[in-house]
C-alpha cells in the first residue's frame, strides 16, 4: 500500500491555497520568441500566461523550462546553407525540423514573457544548449538519451504527478509529456493553457501520440 497523500494548506495573501506536495506544474517555454512578435510565434501564444500564473497556486512545485540555444544552433535553418525554415533534415539522431533562429541564449526572444510569474519557479531548466542536438523535451535531448536532469530533480523531491502547460503543444509540450509518461510519471496536459504550431498535421498527431502514451489530455 502506498503512502496516503498529505494535503498542505497554505495562507497566501489571505486566501487559503491547497497545494498537493507530490505534484508539479511544468511550464514549457513561455518565452518571447514563441509569443506574438517573436521569431517563432505560436498563434495566440501569450494567451496562456495569465491562466498559468493563476494555476501555479495549486502546486507545491513549479518548474519552468526555457529553450536556450547558442547562436548558430544546428536546429536553425540559417545554420544550413540552402535550407529554409520548416524544412526537414536528417540529423545523426533522426529527423529534425529546421526553425527560424529563436530563443538564442541571453537574447530578448529567449527571455520569459514579461508577465509570466517566473518568481514562483522552484527550478528553471534550460534545454537545447548543445549546439549539435535540439531538445524539445524537458527530460531528454532529441537523441532521446541525453538527460536534462529534470527526472532526477522531480524524483528526489518525491514528485509523481505532473501537469504540463505552455508552448508549443505539438512540439515541446508533446515531447515532454510523452517522455514523462514513459518515465512512469502520472502526466496531465491542460490544453486550455497550451497553444500549438501545427505543421502538417503535427497538432493532431501530437494529441493522438500523447493519449497513446497514457497522458491525460484535457481542457
Ligand atoms: C519549440 C520548436 C523549436 C517549442 C522549441 O518550445 O515547442 N519548438 N524549439
Ligand atoms: Zn528551439
Q: Enter the ipTM.
A: 0.98
pLDDT score, position 5? 55
Q: Per the structure block, which three cell numbers stand in for 213?
A: 502514451
List of domains in the chain = 23-70+110-217 (3.40.50.850)
Around ligand 1, the residues with Cβ closer than 6 Å are 29, 34, 67, 99, 136, 167-168, 171-172
Q: Taking the CA of residue 180 as centre, how many other CA atoms within 13 Å lie in the half-sphere pointing to its CB?
A: 31
Kindly report the number of other CB atoms within 10 A of residue 44's CB atom: 12
Q: Give the C-alpha distances (Å, rounded to integers) separating 97 from 66, 116, 188.
A: 19, 28, 26
Q: Is the pLDDT of residue 111 over 70?
A: yes
The verdict on whether 29 is a catalytic residue reads: yes
Tell me which residue has its CA closest to atom 8 in ligand 1. 171
Tell me, in angstroms, the distance from the centre of ligand 2 to residue 128's CA.
6
The verdict on whether 200 is a catalytic residue reads: no
* 116-149 pLDDT, tens digit each: 999 999 999 999 999 999 999 999 999 999 999 9
pLDDT classification of 2: cutoffs 50, 70, 90: low
pLDDT score, position 219? 83
pLDDT classification of 193: cutoffs 50, 70, 90: very high
* 92-101 pLDDT, tens digit each: 999 999 999 9
Taking the C-alpha atoms of residue 5 and residue 218, their distance in angstroms, rounded to an integer, is: 23
Strands 59-67 and 123-127: parallel
The proportion of the chain whose per-residue pLDDT surpasses 70, expressed as a percent, equals: 92
pLDDT classification of 1: cutoffs 50, 70, 90: very low
Contact 181, 213 (CB under 8 A): yes
Contact 170, 137 (CB under 8 A): no
Which positions ≥6 away from 8 have C-beta within 8 Å? Answer: 18, 19, 20, 21, 60
| Active-site residue, from 33, 35, 101, 127 | 127
- Phi and psi based region of residue 154 (left: phi greater than 0; alpha: psi -120 to 50; beta: remaining): alpha
Ligand that comes closest to the CA of residue 73: 2
pLDDT score, position 21? 80
Ligand that comes closest to the CA of residue 74: 2
Query: What is the average pLDDT score of the chain?
Result: 94
Report the Cα–Cα distance between both ends of the chain, in Å, rounded.
31
- The total number of residues shown for the chain amounts to 219
Amino acid at each position: 500500500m502506498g503512502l496516503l497523500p498529505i494535503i498542505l494548506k497554505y495562507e497566501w495573501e489571505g486566501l487559503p491555497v491547497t497545494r498537493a506536495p507530490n505534484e508539479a506544474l511544468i511550464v514549457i517555454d513561455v518565452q518571447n520568441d514563441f509569443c506574438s512578435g517573436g521569431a517563432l510565434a505560436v498563434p495566440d501564444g501569450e494567451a496562456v500566461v495569465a491562466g498559468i500564473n493563476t494555476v501555479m497556486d495549486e502546486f507545491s512545485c513549479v518548474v519552468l523550462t526555457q529553450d536556450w540555444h547558442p547562436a548558430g544552433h544546428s536546429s536553425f535553418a540559417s545554420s544550413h546553407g540552402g535550407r529554409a525554415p520548416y524544412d526537414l533534415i536528417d540529423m545523426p539522431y533522426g529527423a529534425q525540423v529546421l526553425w527560424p533562429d529563436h530563443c538564442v541564449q541571453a537574447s530578448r526572444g529567449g527571455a520569459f514573457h514579461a508577465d509570466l510569474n517566473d518568481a514562483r519557479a522552484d527550478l528553471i531548466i534550460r534545454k537545447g544548449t548543445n549546439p549539435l542536438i535540439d531538445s524539445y523535451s524537458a527530460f531528454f535531448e532529441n537523441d532521446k538519451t541525453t538527460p536534462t536532469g529534470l527526472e532526477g530533480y522531480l524524483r528526489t523531491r518525491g514528485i509523481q504527478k505532473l501537469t504540463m502547460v505552455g508552448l508549443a503543444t505539438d512540439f515541446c509540450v508533446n515531447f515532454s509529456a510523452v517522455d514523462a509518461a514513459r518515465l512512469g510519471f502520472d502526466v496531465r496536459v491542460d490544453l486550455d493553457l497550451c497553444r500549438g504550431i501545427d505543421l502538417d498535421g503535427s497538432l493532431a498527431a501530437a494529441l493522438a501520440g500523447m493519449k497513446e502514451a497514457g497522458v491525460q489530455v484535457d481542457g
